[in-house]
A and B are shown apart, each in its own frame.
Chain A
Amino acid sequence: MSYLGDKLKGFFLFDEPEKNERFILKYPADNDKKDNGEKNRMEREIEKKLAEAGKKPEPSDAISDDIDVNMEFMKRKYSVPVNSDIVLREFSVNYRGDLIRAFIMFFDGMAAREIIDNYMLTPLMVNSLMNLESDSKEGLKDYISRQLLPHNQIKLESAYSKVIDEINFGGCALFVNGLPIAFSADVKGWEHRGVEKPNIEIVIRGPQEAFNELLRTCTAQVRKRVKDENLIVEDIIVGKVSKTPCCLLYIKNVTNDGLVDEVKRRLDSIRVDYMLDSGILEQLIEDSTIYPSPQVISTERPDYVSELLVAGRVAIIVNGSPNVLVVPITMFDLMRSAEDAYIRYPYVNMLRFIRYTALTFALLLPGVYLAIITYHQEMIPTDLLLAIEASREKVPFPAIIEILLMELSFELIREAGIRVPGPIGPTLGIIGALILGQAAVAANIVSPILIIIVAVTGIGSFAIPNFSQAYSVRILRFAFIFFGGLAGFLGITLGLFILGMWSASLKTFGVPFMAPLGPKTAKRFNNVIFRAPEWRREERPDFLNAKKSRLQAKHSMGWKSRPKGKK
């Protein structure tokens, strides 16, 4: 509320605005050319990562070569033995006839026990007795990592913080006496869902796979579709305490470098302790927190993410969240469904028309009905007017109360329908139908025509493909009821004007929210409100300023063009 209060105060009192630099998505510089001696973005990133990897830890964070010091540190860090799910297993490794003390540490339930037993403990405790090292000149560190740990992902860490991060994310750490490093093995093995069918974004035509909560499964799902070595998956950690692993996906020779940098900048700059889901991340990276519509696409479909990546966008996967975020978007993307790409364009266009009609109904129908009933009765043909008036004759409330009552009841049933336990669900449907339908009319609390209005509005909001957008429409509907009740069509016009101007002023990751119509950009009618045939979708959206604007050949249906030389 204080935020709203500040906004309202800003209308009347002037404070010099903070100097925030607004991100502008510029045309891509020709970064891949090295004529000027400058490195391109990817080379800079590789150098940065290598420098980070080679950085020596702070003295307080450096692992000791004394196993007792290390064990004491780790025990204190993990509150052993209070913490019941942390496992600390001590054992000895045979090296050149000496038994060297060692211990492993992992979280029970998060790490795969079988892998630890078979590929870590067995080689270290049993195979080491075979004296495999006798002919080799390797030191203990190399001996363990090269000969005793046959696991596919072993990292050598010299800082406690890194080891702790690995253990927290389902890894297993191995400390050996005399070595100022720890081995960390990626042995994640927690229980998780498999790849299942999408729950929300259901399609009839197209793949039936959804993301799940595993980061690597999600990245693999995209990679198996895009199949391009230029698809980059960059790791980013968000959350000071939770250290939630996130991945940034983009196609390096397509996506604008400025856009990738901006997404990374926003993610890096987030200062929260816990970031547990992509829903939280979405709220932390969006441009306007008060604007009703979502400014990020959140999808559970890998095929849709792949399609958006190919267009030149950036995807963000959050570990533990089955919803992947894609930026930047425009208002028109919120009315698209993943299925749109898979079905023939006449069908898509019919569906799009229906969706936009549904949006109009869901947003404006109750407000317009109220405006007509209250201020513009002359607009209704006489027969219809008589029918409406006859049905409203016995209703004791003014039209605005009648609408608010019904809309509120509808929202109540909708919310209760989500919260109610499964077996009681049908009962709620019956109660809802009775209250909303028959009983309210029979008791002369509402008119039958209003039942139709509310029902059509409700169905309209269900036809909006983006779940978050449907929420925003539900909120805005009440605003339009208010405007319609206040001044009829003039009020609704003002409401639309405010919403339109607000949308026009908004940018998401440097892309105007109303693009490609306002501002007008090239090829704007290819896939905005209506979709062009597949063979006409030759260019990527202009407003994304992608490195490669062409998406497919001018004559993509090669079989139609006549081979050269043939008449």
Chain B
Amino acid sequence: MPNRIKFGKWEAVALLINAISTKLYLYYPRMTVEDAGTAGWILSIYVSLVTLMIFTVLIRLYKRFEGMDILEVSEICGGKVLKTLTGLITVGVLFYLTVITIREFSEDMKVISLPTSPLSFVMLFFIAGMIIGGFLGLEAIVRYHAILVPIISIAYILILIGAVKLMDISNIYPILGTGAYDIFGKGFFRISVFGDILMLFLIVPSIGSYKNVKRIGYTAIGFSSVFLTMGSLAYILSFPYPSNLEPFLPMYQMTRLITYGRFFQRIESVFVFIWATAALMYLTANFYFMVYVLSRIFDMKYIRPLIMPCAIIVFSTAFVPQNLVSVLNIETNIFNKLIWVITFGYVGLILIFANLRERAKRRSEKDETEA
């Protein structure tokens, strides 16, 4: 981190909760239904448990590298070359996530709120948020998360409470949805949803001890799992299975049906506030880490010179997919099945090799002292 900014546990947890849970507003509930039918919520629980187990392994492997981020661990493992490679892979992942998310949010925002405005205009608002966030720095980003994440969470829970009267228990049947294999076999790949935990391995120097990192990781995964599962379950209960497969903003569809008496009938516009805030926060954090890792690769002292060029690249690349459907296709069918390979697989490998290297180093040191 620049000058090794320090922040508290709650700030880090809030950052990770928002990063993981933002998918709720986009595609997550529908994706679980597509994969496992009416058992989407079971898939959600299963994925959370698998992630917790994998995280337990990763964090054990991390024990020796207290206070180091994944780039520093890579450097121990394979020198500057591996550090650069890890950096480039991380930048690639963050870049992809930023591009896809910004396109998706902009498309959705255009449909629900600004139908006559061009897509580029809508996208500019998110880009502006990202640039400003980048300039203000990590301290501002995490503090803003610390304040806003509880508010967004409360609003989200209120939405779910509001949707209770729409829920029909019969929508949950058959309990196992499209079958156990779809849930526990194919469903494994959906651990990619928790791929944003990668950020934790970048903020380690800012949060201090190994114990803190461990606690933050578990808390963030725990809270996110609850939110994701609640969202998935509420969505499945609210709509019959065929309607659940509608390819457009599941949570938004739910809020559209919520009414509080005769006067408050269209609260989905209020949902836009929560939704756009969560999106801006997520995109800003992702973008910041992308630029930060890039600056680390090139050993740059400041990240500011990279902000504007990177923002322009993100903005331009976001127009590459032809339409919303192709964005959703890329997201749910390609990257969301594969991204775990990097966020869990690659990180795991780096940690294993780094551990082996450390062990070998210690052994040789021990031999030398004995000799």
Q: Is the Cβ of B146 less than 8 Å from the Cβ of A489?
A: no
For A512, list chain B residues within 8 Å (CB). 143
For A379, list chain B residues within 8 Å (CB). 266, 269-270
Within the complex, the shortest CB–CB distance from B236 to chain A, in Å, comes to: 27
For B139, list chain A residues within 8 Å (CB). 504-505
Annotate A408-431 by CB proximity to B: 1 below 8 A, 0 otherwise. Answer: 000000000000000000000000
Q: Is the Cβ of A505 less than 8 Å from the Cβ of B129?
A: no
Cα-based distance from A379 to B280 in the complex (angstroms)? 23
Interface residues of B in 71-129 (CB under 8 A from A): 109, 113-114, 117, 121-122, 125, 128-129
Chain B at the A interface: SS class:
helix
Interface residues of A in 483-530 (CB under 8 A from B): 487-494, 496-498, 500-502, 504-505, 512, 514, 517-520
Annotate A37-57 by CB proximity to B: 1 below 8 A, 0 otherwise. Answer: 000000000000000000000
- The verdict on A471 contacting chain B, using a C-beta distance below 8 Å, is no
Among listed B7-15, B22-30, B35-43, interface-contacting one:
B7-15
Among listed A11-19, A62-70, A168-176, A241-249, interface-contacting one:
A11-19
Q: Is the Cβ of A519 less than 8 Å from the Cβ of B117?
A: no
- The verdict on A376 contacting chain B, using a C-beta distance below 8 Å, is yes
- The verdict on A558 contacting chain B, using a C-beta distance below 8 Å, is no
Cβ-closest chain B residue relative to A489: B272
Cα-based distance from A493 to B277 in the complex (angstroms)? 6
Within the complex, the shortest CB–CB distance from B186 to chain A, in Å, comes to: 36
Q: Is the Cβ of B143 less than 8 Å from the Cβ of A519?
A: yes
Within the complex, the shortest CB–CB distance from A273 to chain B, in Å, comes to: 35
- The verdict on A467 contacting chain B, using a C-beta distance below 8 Å, is no
Q: Is the Cβ of A501 less than 8 Å from the Cβ of B133?
A: yes
Cα-based distance from A489 to B109 in the complex (angstroms)? 10
Within the complex, the shortest CB–CB distance from A477 to chain B, in Å, comes to: 18
Residue in B136, B137, B276 whose beta carbon sits within 8 Å of that of A490 in the complex? B276
Q: Is the Cβ of B273 less than 8 Å from the Cβ of A520?
A: no
Q: Is the Cβ of A504 less than 8 Å from the Cβ of B276?
A: no
For A14, list chain B residues within 8 Å (CB). 302, 304-305
Cα-based distance from A313 to B128 in the complex (angstroms)? 37
For B305, list chain A residues within 8 Å (CB). 14
Cβ-closest chain B residue relative to A493: B276
Within the complex, the shortest CB–CB distance from B255 to chain A, in Å, comes to: 12
Q: Is the Cβ of B143 less than 8 Å from the Cβ of A504?
A: yes
Within the complex, the shortest CB–CB distance from A106 to chain B, in Å, comes to: 55
Within the complex, the shortest CB–CB distance from A364 to chain B, in Å, comes to: 11
For B113, list chain A residues within 8 Å (CB). 375-376, 488-490
Cα-based distance from A12 to B146 in the complex (angstroms)? 29
- The verdict on B298 contacting chain A, using a C-beta distance below 8 Å, is no
Q: Is the Cβ of A498 less than 8 Å from the Cβ of B146?
A: no
Cα-based distance from A517 to B151 in the complex (angstroms)? 12
Q: Is the Cβ of B147 less than 8 Å from the Cβ of A518?
A: yes
Cβ-closest chain A residue relative to B121: A487
For A488, list chain B residues within 8 Å (CB). 113-114
Cα-based distance from A17 to B2 in the complex (angstroms)? 13
Cα-based distance from A502 to B137 in the complex (angstroms)? 10
Within the complex, the shortest CB–CB distance from B315 to chain A, in Å, comes to: 15
Q: Is the Cβ of A493 less than 8 Å from the Cβ of B272?
A: yes
Cα-based distance from A505 to B288 in the complex (angstroms)? 15
Residue in A493, A494, A500 whose beta carbon sits within 8 Å of that of B144 in the complex? A500
Cα-based distance from A372 to B269 in the complex (angstroms)? 9
For B122, list chain A residues within 8 Å (CB). 487, 490
Q: Is the Cβ of A504 less than 8 Å from the Cβ of B11?
A: no
Cα-based distance from A492 to B122 in the complex (angstroms)? 13
Cβ-closest chain A residue relative to B301: A16
Annotate B57-77 by CB proximity to A: 1 below 8 A, 0 otherwise. Answer: 000000000000000000000
Cα-based distance from A496 to B284 in the complex (angstroms)? 14
For B269, list chain A residues within 8 Å (CB). 372, 376, 378-379, 489
- The verdict on B329 contacting chain A, using a C-beta distance below 8 Å, is no
For A519, list chain B residues within 8 Å (CB). 7-8, 10-11, 142-143, 146
Q: Is the Cβ of A381 less than 8 Å from the Cβ of B141?
A: no
Q: Is the Cβ of A518 less than 8 Å from the Cβ of B109?
A: no
- A14-B305, A500-B148 are contacts. A518–B276 as well, Cβ < 8 Å? no
Within the complex, the shortest CB–CB distance from B200 to chain A, in Å, comes to: 18
For A380, list chain B residues within 8 Å (CB). 266
Q: Is the Cβ of B146 less than 8 Å from the Cβ of A497?
A: no
Q: Is the Cβ of A518 less than 8 Å from the Cβ of B135?
A: no
Within the complex, the shortest CB–CB distance from B282 to chain A, in Å, comes to: 12
Cα-based distance from A497 to B281 in the complex (angstroms)? 8
Cα-based distance from A502 to B132 in the complex (angstroms)? 9
- The verdict on B323 contacting chain A, using a C-beta distance below 8 Å, is no
Cβ-closest chain B residue relative to A515: B143
Within the complex, the shortest CB–CB distance from A191 to chain B, in Å, comes to: 50
Q: Is the Cβ of A490 less than 8 Å from the Cβ of B109?
A: yes
Q: Is the Cβ of A494 less than 8 Å from the Cβ of B117?
A: no
Q: Is the Cβ of A517 less than 8 Å from the Cβ of B141?
A: no
Within the complex, the shortest CB–CB distance from A223 to chain B, in Å, comes to: 38
Interface residues of A in 542-565 (CB under 8 A from B): none
For A494, list chain B residues within 8 Å (CB). 125, 128-129, 276, 280
Cβ-closest chain B residue relative to A488: B113
Residue in A381, A493, A496, A498 whose beta carbon sits within 8 Å of that of B263 in the complex? A381
Cβ-closest chain A residue relative to B11: A519
For A520, list chain B residues within 8 Å (CB). 8, 10-11, 146
Q: Is the Cβ of B114 less than 8 Å from the Cβ of A505?
A: no
Annotate A354-395 by CB proximity to B: 1 below 8 A, 0 otherwise. Answer: 000000000000000000100110111100000000000000
Cβ-closest chain B residue relative to A521: B8
Which interface residue of B109, B144, B148, B262 has the most chain A CB atoms within 10 A? B144
Cα-based distance from A381 to B113 in the complex (angstroms)? 17
Q: Is the Cβ of B277 less than 8 Å from the Cβ of A496?
A: yes
- The verdict on B226 contacting chain A, using a C-beta distance below 8 Å, is no
Q: Is the Cβ of B132 less than 8 Å from the Cβ of A514?
A: no
- A375-B113, A381-B262, A490-B114 are contacts. A518–B280 as well, Cβ < 8 Å? no
Q: Is the Cβ of B308 less than 8 Å from the Cβ of A12?
A: yes
Q: Is the Cβ of B147 less than 8 Å from the Cβ of A517?
A: yes
A selection of 15 A-B contacts at a CB cut-off of 8 Å is: A376-B272, A379-B266, A380-B266, A489-B269, A489-B276, A490-B113, A490-B272, A493-B272, A493-B276, A494-B125, A497-B280, A500-B148, A512-B143, A514-B143, A518-B11
Q: Which 3 A-B pairs have the closest CB atoms?
A: A505-B140, A518-B143, A504-B143
Q: With A16-B302, A488-B114, A490-B122 given, can you name 9 additional A-B contacts, CB distance below 8 Å?
A: A14-B304, A381-B262, A381-B264, A492-B273, A494-B276, A501-B140, A504-B139, A514-B143, A519-B8
Query: A interface vs B, CB < 8 Å?
Result: 11-12, 14, 16-17, 372, 375-376, 378-381, 487-494, 496-498, 500-502, 504-505, 512, 514, 517-520
